[in-house]
Structure 1
């Protein structure tokens, strides 16, 4: 089965596929839900020097993908994020996951720095299907989901990763070759109700998981997106591109801009990642990082903003005040 055939299969299951590879199903309030994550792309980095090469490129200690998946940033020399990757290792391959639209440019850029390293970098987005699973039925899956958050298991070509909970719901991701995706989707659908990809985004937002998109690349240093709080930066691993700026931000004191979970009411306009936020004086206060429709109406958002603007009481998007909610993890 090709990736095109996979999309055709999803349409037979009731999905509408848009240009961004989002699958849209009828709204569901089911406790256990299944999501197509084809909007995410995959970069395979393999070869005997793969870990060493990535160690000099990414913010996290890539050697730790031997024991579990991790968030990690890819920065410019000025410490600005080109991408956020979710990374894991299978045998001799480190897989980097990010929005599919960003993969071709990132593959090209990474290859520029390979030089004489024994590394092969490949876009494998069309070779695999990523699925999201949410709900208590995770406990009954066979083979089992790893018990620890970011734990990774491999069984019969299927990679399973335990993700952080969202709103108390257990979550996981399955990555499998496209040739066996249809069979496993049908099996999962015995326990889970197929749901829209943007509903998965809403769960990610509720869990405080940021993302970098083409329109927001080079806009943030990693701490602005809470990578330090999410375990996405290792300050002891040594040098990598942008390391000096990231370390300076860490050691010079309190971070003044953070990404916060918030709600926006319904609007005639659709908020987008990269949209500007304003403070009470109509000065720039930050920008939207991630947006998804909220099941109760309006929008769930992650908003990167100056903490002093938030503490002053008003941060707005197109005149609407953001309603901030308690963060799902501690920020210092």
Structure 2
């Protein structure tokens, strides 16, 4: 596997939700308006076929009852975005990190050429809400039927409802609907569920082991480095897409030497002697005690943890996980403590 590209500027530090927000998600039912996401819509007779030829997963055979994780790569196989894709009302929609939505929509549009497809950034016209915990009763007031499995999609007058992977043994759902309708229903939901910070959702995504590509880690990773092959975001049987040769070669012709791990850092990181303490953020590098002169990994996502400190998904050399201390931001930075992912990575031999 290639080394990541030169380090990028870290993303803004994550905010810290109130303790009550974590409690609501972990022991009751909660929802959050997720303004960290944007939505791209692909319309036209060739929309699915076009996206099938651009993204890492099978979009052409995506049915209306399913959603699918996928990635968008550069010709060098480096991820430009991570996405959740689903069909709705004759279109394919893509949920993307909001800080990448405009650039991804623009780049995809450049390659439409003669295809009967048009891509639009519809972020301003939709609302995205995440639900966690005991929320089925509240959701039954919005949808006649609820998804009965992970990445099952149901549609109705209120929009789309998608079950996403559980985190901390809590069921999770995404509601994407017309913005005016979503905004009108949020106040009513507050009478049934706790409204929490969107940063709680970021933390739950991390605990679910689902990396999200943001501006802070743009073009840093091939899909396997962030476990996309493990979580179902890559289809190795589909046809070509940008970067496909690199991704396939990494899978079949060489040992995968870098993966993404779940970890915790107990306190804020001082990244240099003159800086104020600042929390870990995407793009911050990791250093191993045995080789402090060069980074061994990079933070992919980070979020404040309920009991203090920060949880993170960190892309890292597998050799660095075999022993010795790993530090955040610098060789003398705070130590990173690795934890089990909620899924099993394949043995790399």
TM-score, scaled to structure 1: 0.90
- Tell me the equivalent position of 1:6: none
Task: Give 1:183 shift.
Answer: 2.8
1:41 and 2:32 aligned = no
- Aligned counterparts of 2:16 and 2:159: Cα–Cα separation in 1: 21
- Tell me the equivalent position of 1:271: 280
CA RMSD of aligned residues (A): 1.9
1:325 and 2:339 aligned = yes
CA contact (8 A) 1:72 1:86 kept: yes
Kindly tell me: are residues 220 and 115 of structure 1, through their superposed partners in 2, closer, same or farther at Cα, counting changes over 3 Å?
Answer: same
- Tell me the equivalent position of 2:49: 52
Task: Give 1:188 shift.
Answer: 2.4
Once the two structures are superposed, residues 249-291 of structure 1 have per-residue CA deviations (whole angstroms, 9 ceiling, x without a partner) of: 1102431101111001122321110001001121311100001
- Tell me the equivalent position of 2:113: 115
| SS of alignment partner, residue 228 of structure 2 | coil
CA contact (8 A) 1:288 1:303 kept: yes
Equivalences for residues 140-151 of structure 1 within 5 A: 141-142=139-140, 143=143, 144-151=145-152
| SS of alignment partner, residue 262 of structure 2 | strand
User: 5+ residue gaps in structure 2?
Assistant: 1-11, 269-276
- Tell me the equivalent position of 2:94: 96
Q: Report how many residues are paired.
A: 314
Q: Select the residue among 298, 308, 316 that pairs with 2:327.
A: 316
Task: Give 1:140 shift.
Answer: 5.8
Task: Give 1:139 shift.
Answer: 5.6
CA contact (8 A) 1:279 1:309 kept: yes
TM-score, scaled to structure 2: 0.86
- Tell me the equivalent position of 2:8: none
- Aligned counterparts of 1:248 and 1:87: Cα–Cα separation in 2: 25
- Aligned counterparts of 1:51 and 1:132: Cα–Cα separation in 2: 26
- Tell me the equivalent position of 1:205: 206
Equivalences for residues 152-301 of structure 1 within 5 A: 152-267=153-268, 268-280=277-289, 281-282=291-292, 283-301=294-312
Which range is displaced more, 220-229 or 27-36? Answer: 27-36
| SS of alignment partner, residue 303 of structure 2 | strand
CA contact (8 A) 1:23 1:197 kept: no
Task: Give 1:25 shift.
Answer: 6.8
Kindly tell me: are residues 234 and 139 of structure 1, through their superposed partners in 2, closer, same or farther at Cα, counting changes over 3 Å?
Answer: farther
Task: Give 1:24 shift.
Answer: 6.6
- Aligned counterparts of 1:270 and 1:213: Cα–Cα separation in 2: 17
- Tell me the equivalent position of 1:61: 58
| SS of alignment partner, residue 260 of structure 2 | strand
- Aligned counterparts of 1:207 and 1:119: Cα–Cα separation in 2: 34
- Aligned counterparts of 1:90 and 1:274: Cα–Cα separation in 2: 34
- Aligned counterparts of 2:208 and 2:111: Cα–Cα separation in 1: 34
- Aligned counterparts of 1:174 and 1:23: Cα–Cα separation in 2: 24
- Aligned counterparts of 2:79 and 2:157: Cα–Cα separation in 1: 35
- Tell me the equivalent position of 1:16: none
| SS of alignment partner, residue 237 of structure 1 | coil
User: 5+ residue gaps in structure 1?
Assistant: 1-18
